[in-house]
Each structure stands twice: as C-alpha cells, then as structure tokens.
Amino acid sequence: MTDTLTPILTKFWDDPQSWTLATYEKHDGYKALRKALGMKPEEVLGAVKDSNIRGRGGAGFPTGMKWSFMSPPDGGPRYLVVNADESEPGTCKDVPLMMANPHSLIEGVAISSYAIGCEHAFIYLRGEVVHVYRRLLRAVEEARAAGYLGDNVAGSGVKVEITVHAGAGAYICGEETALLDSLEGRRGQPRLKPPFPGAAGLYARPTSVNNVESIASVPGIILEGSDWFKGMGTEKSTGFGIFSLSGHVTNPGQFEAPLGITMRELIDLAGGMRGGRKLKFWTPGGSSTPIFTEEHLDVPLDFDSVAAAGSMLGTRALQVFDETVSVVRAVSRWTDFYAHESCGKCTPCREGTWWLRQIMTRIENGQGTQDDIDKLLDICDNILGRSFCALGDAATSPITSAVKYFREEFEIGMHTPAHVLFPPERSVLFDVNTKESSGMVSA
Amino acid sequence: MSADPNETWNASGFLHVSPESKRPYAADVLESLHADAAEIIARYPQKRSALLPLLHLVQSVDGYVSGRGVSFCAEVLDLTTAEVSGVATFYTQYKRHPNGEYTVGVCTNTLCAIMGGDQIWDTVSEHLGVGHDETTGDGKITLERIECNAACDYAPVVMTNWEFFDNQTPDSTVKLVDDLRAGKQVAPTRGPSRVCTFKEVSRVLAGFDDGLADEGVGAGPASLLGLRIAKDNGWVAPEGGDSAGSGTASSTDRKDGSQ
C-alpha cells in the first residue's frame, strides 16, 4: 500500500538552497531529460498519455490527451505555455513549488516541449510574486548554461528555449485563452472556442497550455515510468498532488499525497481543528468549487469522487472555516472578488456578478429583502452556462452551494448583520483585543 | 465636462495624465529605455508580446504608467496610444498615478480577511490615514487591498512590493509600515534579505534579474509541514522503474489494499 504522504516534488524543499541546479542534480535532476532525449517524441508523449495524469490546474483534463489533440506538425512553430498564474482564492501550491524547486518545472518544460515539437516555451507567471520570478529567471539561466536549454539540448541537437513572462495582476489570465491574449500583449480576455489552443493558440499556432504542477510531474513519469505514476492515486485519478490546507486547522501547510486522500486524514495531519473547534465548511479546490461541510470529510479527494459529491477537485485548495465563521460573510467576499475580476467581455458575468455583489452585500449587512435568496439563485442560473468562460460559472458556485447547506443564514440576513451573528474577532488567528490596543499605542 | 486640455483625469478607469507625465524623457533615459526595450522585444517571436514587460519597465523609471511611458510603448511596438492605455488600465499592477516607494498590500480575500486580514486592513489604514490605492503624504507607502496572493497557508498575508510577509498581525503590519517610512531596511518572510523599492521591483518584473534569486529561504515552515510529517513517519513515494531496488511491490499491492 502506498504511504499516506508521498513527497516527490516537495522531497527536498528543506535542502539548503533547494532551488539551485546543484541541489536538483543531486536529486536525480535532468536525468529524465536525458532519458527522454533518447526516446522518440511520440514515445515521450505516449508515456505521459499512458500515465493518465490529469491536469493539475483544476479542470482535470488528461495532459497527454491535450497534447495529442494539437494539430499535426506543419513545419511552423508549436508552443508550450505553462500557466503559472496561480490566483484562484485558496490555491497556493505552484508558487511554493516554483520558489523551492523551479528546476522541476524547467526540466518538465524541456521534456514536454520535446514531446510536442515546441522549440520556444513560455512560463506565464503572475506578476505579484517577484521572488518566484527571480528564482525562475535564475533557473532558466542555470539550465541554459548547463546545456539543458538552448540550441542543442544536452548534445541532442534538439532546440528548446524558455521565456519566463510576468503578468501584471488579473485573475482572468488563469483562463487559458485569456492568458494567451495577455501573453500576446493584450487585455486578458478569453477567446471564443473553438478554435481551441491546440489548433490556434499563441500567435494562432498550435499551443498547449498546461499547469505548473502538471508539467513538473512529467520528469518523474519519464524517469520512473507511467506504471510508477499509476501506482499512486486511484484508477481514474492517477498519481500524486500537492494538497494545500489553509484556515482554521492547527497547522496549515502543504501535503503531497496520492490523489484520493480524504479531508479527514488531511485535517488530522494538520493537527486537527484550531482550538478543538468544530468544522463548518470547506472548499475542496478553491473558491470556485462548491463548498463542502462535515458530511464530506470522507469523500476521496480525486476528480470523480469529488464531482460525484457535488463539487470539483479543482486545485486541491482546501480552505477550512470553523464554526465561528459566517458563511454569508465568506461568500460575500468571494462575490466581491468575482465582480472585481470579471473581465467585462460578456454580459452575464459582467452584469451578473455586479448584481450578485449588491445582493450579497445587503444580506451580509442584515438588509436583505424577502425575495433576495430567490433572486440570487435566479441570477446564478442566468450566469451559469451562459458566460463566455468559467469565471462566470465560478462566481455562482459559492453562492448556490452555501444556500444549499446554510439557507437559514441567508434568511437571517434579512434582519441581522453577519457580524452580529458571527463576531469576526472570534475567527481571527491573533488576539484581537491586545493587538488593537497596542496598535493604537503606536499610532 | 470641461474641455480644458490641461485638466487631469482622476476618475477610476482613466489614466491620470498630468502635464508633467507628458514631459519628454531626458536623452540618456530615453537611450537606456530603448536599449532595454530592444532586449525585451527580442525575447518574443512577435513584438506586441513585449507590452506587459515594457509597462513594468515604464514603472521602473516613472513609478507609474506615465503618459510619456504610454507613448514610448506605442512607438516601439507600433501600436496606438489607445491600444497601450487599454492594456495598461486592465491590470491592477499598473498604477495610474505616481506610486509610493512601497506598495503595501493587505490580502482581504475571504480566507485572509477572516483569519485577520480585515483587522489588519482597518488598523493600518487608520494608522496611515490612507485608503485603497492611496499614498501617504511622504510618498513612501501606497496602501492596497489585494486579492489572493497564493500563500493561504501563511494567512493573514501582507505583500510589500510583491514580497511575502507571512502570518501577519495588526501590530506587525503597523511596525512594517513604520519601519518603511523611517527608511529602515525591511526583510520579507520568504524573499530576499531586503525589500526593494517599487521602481527596482518593477525592473525585475520587466525581466531584468537583480541578482537576488539566491537570497532567502527555499520554503517556509508551512510549505515544509507535509514533508516533515512524512520524514517523521518514514513515508516515501514508491520506487519506480528507474530507481534502484524493486518498486513493483508497492505498486501491485495498491489496488487491493484495504484502506
């Protein structure tokens, strides 16, 4: 039986200077690249396909299949674009990965580029993590100097170049076609599909957009074999992933485990709930995935089990909220976020998130009207499936799921403010009274 | 609406283009901007892709997206100034008016807000006497409410010039801004040994390495929690086909495992 936790990408994050090429090579770094270069590109693609790895960015589309759906080579450029725009509320796996172990991504890019016939790959990093950008720039520089990138990768004659590109603050750029528009120097707004990026992506050329963790998992699959990868996880959700616990657990943190681990196991590893308080609700994969409650603690955290239970595995961004938290306040703040980040391209999302925000705000303030809950659900119904991209759909998830499990709290919002029902100071992680008084002293 | 061409636009949604911001760059500044722009453009197959880093570059010189910066980008990329402004106003990191030396961003997205980000925001905003996207009178600090910055396991999070300040409290953040205003050197939790200025960081975001990559930790304690627990329990990933020893036992035992 596989161990509860399986440190692979996180294996040497505690090494001094874990981010350097020297450390990476000490831990078998770039062996997979040499092995891949000894294979035919289609064999490399076949190994990834055979591993059944599903995209780690949230949607869970099989990575190898995505590659094989790219239009066949026509002699023109083909692109690999890594989506490192990690911005989904609650998601915090790619940023620590790139900070501690950037070479796993660089090696993954080199191998994946070889597999799909890409000579110039891009890593689109959100701009708000400048030290991660430094680490990636440095890793590319080191890899190039060592001959792992460039015109003649490891003496094979293969060419792979990487440009690491910093965004400038826009959640929507995590949507793959918005990301491509942004990378082309435009406003980051999603494109109509089809054509899919595999046919016409970056500069209208065949392009694969993949998540950081998906690409960083490729070296392991090549070096250890697809059976090794399939030896972890479940039959339909193979392999391992980084699970990010945050919020009201005793010890928040990152846990690399086979897919299928349960929230009960993870909360236990995190030292249980803060101060022995009771769990109220949690997100399995970020704010865009419908919330879960205590009844879902034993749902295996794999793509299909989470979907069957009414949510999505997403990015394994497990945000935990205890009994002190107003679900209305939490959802209201997420709704602010979606309204702020809606790109404005399509009407249901642009107008709908604005109205959702008005209504959520008044419910939070105890000023909801009799028909506000029905109105919320009606607006959600008009956004879901009618928006241009998944952002609109995502904006409805917290609302509809919270109404489903905690309808009475929304009803109370017709007369009682959330902060009266759930005093916010009970939820914070520091002692509010002493902090506030000392804050005043220094003011 | 006034037709006065000298009127400045402060309303949200417009670039604040003061007459000063249109003043031409000094010759030496312009020369180095052109040299940097050429280097940025060379990174991409098509030059329009250089626009986002070029706007970061403009901020590294002017401290915000100035009118002359917009004109410069338009000129080197063969775009209209409207096209450049359209992009500059889309992204929150591009500032429409002169930014402080330090952007202090308090995460007030749901998780951080509930863990204490709201209290941090209230305290610091009152302490500094400025609101969102406003700058202190000494030009030192621009305060922002920011969205999730991918460090939720360190909530509540504060970013200073896009470096991580983890596990903050109202007290620690007040001390942070006081130190910044007093000109003291301030070090992030996970990042280089000192916080660089807004202009310096903007230059890094334009893709110019400042040599600080090797400073700071690889991972903070929360990032290492699972690894530490795995080591304590002797938990490891199964061995694979290419590793020494046989890895088959662990993979064949798996499916029939009664967990």
pLDDT in tens, A201-242: 999 999 999 999 999 999 999 999 999 999 999 999 999 999
A298, A369: one domain = no
CATH topology of domain B102-197: Glutaredoxin (3.40.30)
**Does residue A305 have a pLDDT over 50?**
yes
Asked if B60 and B206 touch (Cβ cutoff 8 Å), the reply is: yes
Closest partner residue to B111 among A89, A164, A167, by Cβ? A89
3-state secondary structure of B159: strand
Residue A181 lies inside a defined structural domain of this protein: yes
Closest partner residue to A443 among B91, B127, B237, by Cβ? B127
For residue A331, the enclosing domain spans 327-421
Q: Give pLDDT, residue B15.
A: 53
Q: Do A337 and B110 touch (CB under 8 A)?
A: yes
Locate the chain B residue with the closest alpha carbon to A162.
B43
- Chosen for mutation from B152, B165, B190 (greatest number of chain A CBs closer than 10 Å) is B152
**Strand bridging mode B102-107 / A317-322:** unpaired
Asked if B199 and B61 touch (Cβ cutoff 8 Å), the reply is: yes
Residue A339 lies inside a defined structural domain of this protein: yes
Q: Give pLDDT, residue B243.
A: 53
Q: Do A134 and B192 touch (CB under 8 A)?
A: yes
Give how far A438 is from chain B: nearest CA, Å: 7
Locate the chain A residue with the closest alpha carbon to B115.
A428
Chain B touched by A275 (CB under 8 Å): no
Give the pLDDT confidence of A404-423 residue by residue, as tens digits: 999 999 999 999 999 999 99
Tokens (6 digits) for B240? 């694979």
A98, A212: one domain = yes
Q: How far apart are CA A157 and CA B183, in angstroms?
A: 52
- The residue among B241, B246, B224 whose CA lies nearest residue A31 is B241
Q: Give pLDDT, residue B22.
A: 87
Q: Give pLDDT, residue A88.
A: 97
Looking at A322, A351, A382, which one is the last position of a domain?
A322
Tokens (6 digits) for A268? 């236990």
Lowest mean pLDDT among A51-55, A318-322, B16-20: B16-20
Closest partner residue to A427 among B114, B219, B239, by Cβ? B114
Helix (H), strand (E) counts: chain B: 10, 5
Locate the chain A residue with the closest alpha carbon to B235.
A3
Torsion of CA A84, A86, A91, A96, to 10 degrees: 50
- Chosen for mutation from A12, A18, A128 (greatest number of chain B CBs closer than 10 Å) is A128
Confidence of residue A441 (pLDDT cuts 50, 70, 90): very low
Q: Do A17 and B201 touch (CB under 8 A)?
A: no
Which residues, 6+ apart, have CB-to-CB distance to A421 below 8 Å? A326, A409, A412
Locate the chain A residue with the closest alpha carbon to B236.
A6
Q: Give pLDDT, residue A331.
A: 98
Confidence of residue A432 (pLDDT cuts 50, 70, 90): confident
Chain B touched by A433 (CB under 8 Å): no
Chain B touched by A2 (CB under 8 Å): yes
Residues of B with Cβ-Cβ distance to A18 under 8 angstroms: 218-219
Provide the CATH number for the domain around residue A221. 3.40.50.11540
Locate the chain B residue with the closest alpha carbon to A77.
B45
Asked if B248 and B240 touch (Cβ cutoff 8 Å), the reply is: no
**ipTM (interface predicted TM):** 0.95
- Give percent above pLDDT 70 in chain A: 98
Which residues, 6+ apart, have CB-to-CB distance to A56 below 8 Å? A211, A212, A213, A214, A217, A241, A315
- The residue among B119, B107, B240, B235 whose CA lies nearest residue B170 is B119
Q: Do B235 and A3 touch (CB under 8 A)?
A: yes
Residues of B with Cβ-Cβ distance to A4 under 8 angstroms: 230, 233, 235
Q: Interior CA angle at A92 toward A91 and A96, to 5°?
A: 160
Residue A14 lies inside a defined structural domain of this protein: no
Q: Give pLDDT, residue A440.
A: 38
Q: Do A424 and B119 touch (CB under 8 A)?
A: yes
Q: Give pLDDT, residue B20.
A: 82
Locate the chain A residue with the closest alpha carbon to B145.
A337
Give how far A405 is from chain B: nearest CA, Å: 18
Confidence of residue A323 (pLDDT cuts 50, 70, 90): very high
Q: Give pLDDT, residue B240.
A: 84
How many contacts (CB atoms, under 8 Å) link A and B? 349
The model's pTM is 0.94
A77, A207: one domain = yes
Residue A427 lies inside a defined structural domain of this protein: no
Give how far B12 is from chain A: nearest CA, Å: 13
pLDDT mean over A260-289: 98
Burial of B174 from C-beta contacts in 10 A (0-12 / 13-18 / 19+): buried
Confidence of residue A433 (pLDDT cuts 50, 70, 90): low
Confidence of residue A431 (pLDDT cuts 50, 70, 90): confident
Looking at A273, A298, A322, which one is the last position of a domain?
A322
- The residue among B201, B182, B187 whose CA lies nearest residue B56 is B201
Looking at A293, A322, A351, which one is the last position of a domain?
A322
A67, A169: one domain = yes
φ/ψ of B52, rounded to 5, equals -60, -50
Q: How many domains does chain A have?
A: 3
Q: Give pLDDT, residue B256.
A: 40
Residue A8 lies inside a defined structural domain of this protein: no
Asked if B64 and B95 touch (Cβ cutoff 8 Å), the reply is: yes
pLDDT mean over A144-166: 98
- For chain B, the structural domain boundaries read 7-88, 102-197
Give the pLDDT confidence of A67-78 residue by residue, as tens digits: 999 999 999 999
Chain B touched by A415 (CB under 8 Å): no
Q: Do B241 and A251 touch (CB under 8 A)?
A: no
Cis ω for the linkage preceding A7 (within 30 of 0)? no
Closest partner residue to A128 among B159, B219, B236, by Cβ? B159
Average pLDDT by stretches of 10, chain B with 259 residues = 42 60 94 98 98 98 96 98 96 96 98 98 98 97 98 98 98 98 97 98 98 98 98 95 46 38
